[in-house]
Amino acid sequence: MVTEPALTRSGNSLWQRVKSYRLERRRRREERRRRKGPVREWIELIVSIIIIVFFIRLTLVEAFRIPTGSMEDTMLIGDFLLVNKFVYGIRSPDWIGVPFTRIGFFVPFFRIPGVREPRSGDIVVFRYPLDPKLSYIKRCVAAEGQTVEIREKKLYVDGVLFPNPPGSKFTSEILYPRDYVERSIVPRNMVMRNRDNYGPVTVPPGCLFVMGDNRDNSADSRYWGFLSRNLVIGKALIIYFSWNSRKPLYRMNRKIRWERIGNLIR
């Protein structure tokens, strides 16, 4: 007769303590908020968002803008795209400086192994070999060990015709003959040395051979050499916005290329 009421009181006492603890914790949290004030709360929120965005930008995806026509018509001037940095391996920052300026310095970097290596056909974003502060975007046409040759504007990889991507184009009607030599073409020990007749050349270990889809108007591996794998940032993923700067402001509805937004990059 005495035990059951005692257990009930004990149970009620435990519940009351839990309830009191929750109320006290809520009271302390609200008190801390009042002490911080709305300004400090907003600052903490903004700092948290910046840290999260920086982490995502460092490890997963990063945004880039297309400034030139070297990849037309696959990508147009004014396309804004996201780059997958995870697929080839996360790369630590190699340059520290003031955002949106060229003020800074290079630091040693490391790379975490990725899902796979860049391969023929991928559109890659990389540090420009002649000026690593700049980011370039081109199509990888050959990886290490593969042989590249261009005959009368047709690209061959390992002796097999490399099909022109759907968005690629040739803007010049001039066809340079095989014996014509462009001094800016590298390397200099090839049989053919111009943009339309090139090679053959074998891609060395740890390097890629990249070209723009706008084949007659692209500064690529034909002109500055092989791309070191260490300079690759990631694989172009999707166009999230596109802005046509050539359209006048009064045609604002035409300045945004709505049909390109959300297009996967291939």
26 and 136, same domain (yes or no): no
Where residue 7 falls among pLDDT bands split at 50, 70, 90?
Answer: very low
The C-alpha atoms of residue 45 and residue 35 are separated, in whole angstroms, by 16
What digits encode the pLDDT tens for the residues 56-112? 666 678 889 999 999 999 999 999 999 999 899 887 777 776 665 677 777 777 788
Choosing from 59, 75, 98, the residue where a domain stops is: 59
Q: What is the CATH number of the domain that holds 224?
A: 2.10.109.10
Q: Is residue 160 part of a domain?
A: yes
**Per-residue pLDDT averaged across 201-228, rounded?**
97
Q: Say whether both 208 and 249 belong to one domain.
A: yes
HSE (side-chain half, CA atoms, 13 Å) at 54 = 9
* Residue ranges making up the domain that contains 179: 62-260
* Domain assignment of residue 247, yes or no: yes
Q: Note whether 162 and 68 are same-domain residues.
A: yes
For 238, other C-beta atoms within 10 Å of its C-beta total 15
The answer to whether residue 161 is domain-embedded is yes
- Do the domain assignments include residue 26? yes
Active-site residue set: 70, 138
> Would you say 254 and 228 are in contact if contact means Cβ atoms under 8 Å apart?
no
Residue 100: what pLDDT?
Answer: 58
Widest CA span in the chain = 112
Q: Is pLDDT at 5 greater than 80 in this prediction?
A: no
Q: Which of 17, 42, 59 is the last residue of a domain?
A: 59
For the stretch 171-192, pLDDT in tens is 999 999 999 999 999 999 999 9
Do 127 and 28 share a structural domain? no
Q: What local confidence, expressed as pLDDT, does residue 101 receive?
A: 66
Among 43, 59, 75, the domain-final residue is 59
Question: What percentage of the chain has pLDDT greater than the value 70?
Answer: 88
pTM here is: 0.78
Instruction: For the beta carbon of residue 201, count every other beta carbon within 10 angstroms.
Output: 22
Question: Does 139 lie in the same domain as 120?
Answer: yes
Q: How many domains, in total, are found in the chain? A: 2
Q: Is residue 253 one of the residues assigned to a domain?
A: yes
Residue 168 domain-assigned (yes or no):
yes
Do 43 and 74 belong together in one domain? no
Q: Which tens digits make up the pLDDT trace of 146-176? A: 999 999 999 999 999 999 999 999 999 999 9
Q: Cis before residue 200, ω within 30 degrees of 0? A: yes
Query: Residues 10, 129: one domain?
Result: no
In this structure, the answer to whether residues 117 and 229 fall within a common structural domain is yes
CA–CA separation, 140 and 234 (whole Å): 12
